[in-house]
Amino acid sequence: MRRARSALPAQLPAAEAEEGLQRLARFLARALPLCRAHTTEFYARGLWEQLVAARPEVVLQALRRPLPEAAGAAAVRWDDDRFSDVFCENSNKLINVHLFALAAKHYSLPNLGVCTPLEEILEALRGDSQGASGIKTDEFMNNKKSHEVQAMSELVDKIAKYCGLKQVIDIGSGKGYLSSFLSMQYNLKVYGIDSSKTNTNGAHERNRKLKKHWKTYQSRARANSETQRLEKPIKNEIKCKAINEKPLSNNSSLQSQDQGTTQDLVPSCVFTEVAVSETSKQTEINLAQAQSDESKLSEEALAVLSVLPADAVEVFSSSHCNYGEVCEEEKARRKMAFIKAKESKSSESNLYFPLTSYISAETELSDIITDLEDCIMVGLHTCGDLAANTLRIFTAKPEIKAVCSVGCCYHLLSEQYENQADCTEEVWGFPMCRYLKDKGWCCGRNARMSACLALERVAVGQMLPTESLFYRAVLQVIIEEIYGVTKSDRHVGKIFSKSSSFLDYVRKSLKKLELDDSKLKVVLAPCIEVLILLDRLCYLKEQSNIAWSGLVKLFDPVKSPRCCAVIALKKQSCL
C-alpha cells in the first residue's frame, strides 16, 4: 500500500498565468521594434534615430541609475495607460528610458511572481527519502555542467520517487552528463536520446570511463564525509575549551592587556592545529586500515553484497548450524541469492542506454524504447523546438507521468506566424498556448535571439562584446555599399576572436558573405524569455490531464543563464 505523501506546493492558477502572459504581451508589443532590430543596424541603418528619442549618451546615463528592488518593482502595476509614458503615442519612439528599464524589470521572471520556489517543491517531494552521498561532480564535469547536473538530478530523482517511477527518458541527452549521473547516483534506468550519432558514441565512451572510476568517487565521498563528521565535534570541543580557560573581562582590561592576551593565545592556536592535525592523521589511518581490510575480501563477495537489497542478507546464527558446517538448505539459499545478485548486477551495470534518434512531436517512443514503461521525461537545455515537442509528447503519451524540461536556443524555435509563405511545418515551437495563437503573436528571430542574452552575467561584470559588434557594423556597411548584398542565408559566425586585425576580420568575413545575428538589447532579453516560458506553462494548464504544473528557477543564472525549468505531473501520478 502506498504511503501518504505530502501535498505539492500551491501552483499558479491558470487564470493568473494567462493574465500575466497577456500583460507581458501588451508591453512587448510596444517594445518589439527594438527587439526585432539587429544591433548593428543601429549603426549601419540609422535605426537609433527611428526608434529612440534620446541620444545614446543620455540612454547610457539613464540605464546606470539604480532601479528599485524587486518588491518596489513588483508593486507597480503596468497597464496600457502607463505605456504612453514610455513610448510616444505618435512615433512609437522610446522617450523615457528609466521607466522603460523599470517596466522590463517588472516583467522579468523574478518579479512577475509566476515561479514556484525550488525549496518548496523539494521539501514537498522529499518524503522519506534520504540524501545521496556527496559525490563532487566537478571532478568529472566543468563547473557549469556540474552545477546543472547536481541541481536537476536531485529534483528529477525526487519527482520519480514521488510518482513511483524508475524509468527516465532524457531528450536531447548530448554526451550523457545528466543521464549517467541519474543512473549511477540514483539507480534510475535512463534512456538518453540524441539526434547526433557522434554524441551517442561520446556518451557511451564517457559512461564506460565513469563506471570504471565510480567506486573511487563513492569511496572518496564517504571518506570526506567521515572525516568531516569526526573533525567537527573535536574542533567545537577545543574551541569551547579555549574560551572557558580564558574568560574575557571588560573592555578596559582587554585594552590594558592587549599584548599579553596575544601572547597567551598563541599556544592555544598551536594546540588546536596540532589536535586537528592528529585527528586528521588518525582518521586517515583508520580509513586506510578499513580500505585494506575491505580489499582482503573476495571481489565476488563484495559484488554480491553491493547489489543485494537490505533485507536479503540474514544474520547467521550458531543456533541454526554449527560453526564449521553449513546445512544443505543454507547452501542452496546462498546459491540462489548469488545467482539473483549476479543477474541484478548485470542489469544494473547497464542502467543507462544512449540511443540515436530524431525526436519530433509525432515520435512514437515505443518504436525507440522496446521496454517503455511509466516514466519521467527530462531535458537539460534542449534546443529550439525540442523543448516544445518534449511538452507535447508528455501531454500525449500516457506512459509519461511527469516532465522536467529546461529549454535553450530560443533563436532556433520555429514560429507559426513568421514567414508563413516559406513554412511547410504543421507543428511549431512558438506559440503553443491558445491566447498567443489567437493573437497571431510573432517575436521574430532577432527578438528570440535577444532572449538568449544573459542579463545576470552582464550585471556581475561579464560584459558584452562591444568591439566585435562595432567590427560587425562596419562590415555590414562595406558589404551593402560595395557588394550590394542586403540579405543572405550564410553567417559570419565567430570570426572576431580568430582575427588579428580589422582588415583580417573583413577578409575572413567576406569569404562567407553573411552577417551574424547576435544582439545587444539585453534589457528586454528577460522579457522575451518569460514570454516563451509563460506560453509553455499556459499550454500545460490548458490540458485536462495535468494535475500540477509550474516554472521553477533551478540554476544560478550567472552560472547557467537558461535557468528555469518547466515541470508538470499528470493526475494519475499524483494519486
Query: Cell numbers at residue 283, please?
Result: 582518521
Q: Enumerate the H helices of 164-196 as residue ranges.
A: 177-186
In tens, the pLDDT along 130-161 reads: 555 567 766 778 889 999 999 999 999 999 99
Mean of pLDDT over the chain:
74
| Amino acid 56: pLDDT | 76
Longest dimension (CA), the chain: 99
Cell of 9: 506546493
**Which of 147-156, 418-427, 554-563 shows the lowest mean pLDDT across its residues?**
418-427
Q: How far is CA 552 from CA 113, 403, 404, in A?
A: 11, 12, 10
503/545 same-domain check: no
- Tens digit of pLDDT for each residue in 55-107? 877 887 777 777 665 444 444 555 656 667 888 888 888 898 888 888 888 88
Three cell numbers written together for 2: 502506498
The answer on 94 and 15 residing in a single domain is yes
Distance (Å, rounded) from C-alpha 21 to C-alpha 247?
62
pTM: 0.69
- Over residues 254-263, the pLDDT tens digits come to 333 333 333 3
Q: Does any domain span residue 79?
A: yes
What's residue 269's pLDDT?
Answer: 33
In this structure, are 483 and 509 located in the same domain?
yes
Residue length, the chain? 575
% of residues, the chain, pLDDT over 70:
58
Examine residue 490 and state whether it is found in any structural domain, yes or no: yes
507/553 same-domain check: no
Residue 486 contacts residue 69 (beta carbons within 8 Å): no
SS3 (DSSP) at 192: strand
Residues 558 and 486 in one domain: no
Cβ atoms within 10 A of the Cβ of 555, count?
A: 22
Which ranges of 362-501 would DSSP assign to H, the alpha helix? 365-368, 385-396, 434-439, 445-450, 455-459, 466-478
Does 270 reside within a domain?
no
The C-alpha R_g of the chain, in whole angstroms, comes to 30
End position of a domain, from candidates 82, 116, 150: 116
Residue type, 409: C
Identify the domain boundary among 116, 137, 155: 116
Q: How many Cβ atoms from other residues are within 10 Å of residue 266's Cβ?
A: 9
Residue 135 lies in a domain: no
The pLDDT, as a whole number, for residue 60 is 75
Neighbouring C-alpha atoms within 13 Å toward the C-beta of 38 = 17
pLDDT single digits (tens) 512-535:
544 333 335 677 888 999 999 999
Give the domain-ending residue among 77, 101, 116.
116
Query: Quick one: 530 and 511 in the same domain?
Result: no
Percentage of the chain with pLDDT > 90? 35
Which residue segment(s) compose the domain that 474 sits in?
A: 466-515
Position 534 scores a pLDDT of 96
On whether both 19 and 107 belong to a single domain, the answer is yes
What is the DSSP code string of 70-85? HHHHHHSPP-HHHHHH
Beta strands at 546-553 and 375-383: parallel, antiparallel or unpaired: unpaired
544: in domain: yes
More confident call, 268 vs 447: 447
Query: Would you say residue 480 lies in a domain?
Result: yes
Specify whether the CB–CB gap between 180 and 194 falls below 8 A: no
Task: Judge whether 492 lies within some domain.
Answer: yes
471-504 pLDDT tens trace:
566 656 655 655 455 555 555 556 666 666 666 6
* Contact (Cβ atoms closer than 8 angstroms) between residue 556 and residue 563: yes
pLDDT tens-place string over residues 309-344: 444 434 334 344 444 455 777 777 777 776 665 555
Q: Residue with C-alpha cell 513610448?
A: 87
N- to C-terminal Cα distance for the chain?
Answer: 12
- 73 Cβ partners below 8 Å, 6+ apart? 67, 102, 105, 106, 111
In this structure, the answer to whether residues 8 and 53 fall within a common structural domain is: yes
In a domain, 78, yes or no: yes
Domain total in the chain: 3
Residue 8 has pLDDT above 80, yes or no: yes
410-424, 454-468, 542-556: least confident range: 454-468
Q: Which residue, 48, 53, 125, 127, is CA-closest to 86?
A: 53
Q: Give the SS3 label for residue 463.
A: coil
Determine the Cα angle at 460 with ends 456 and 466, to 5°: 85
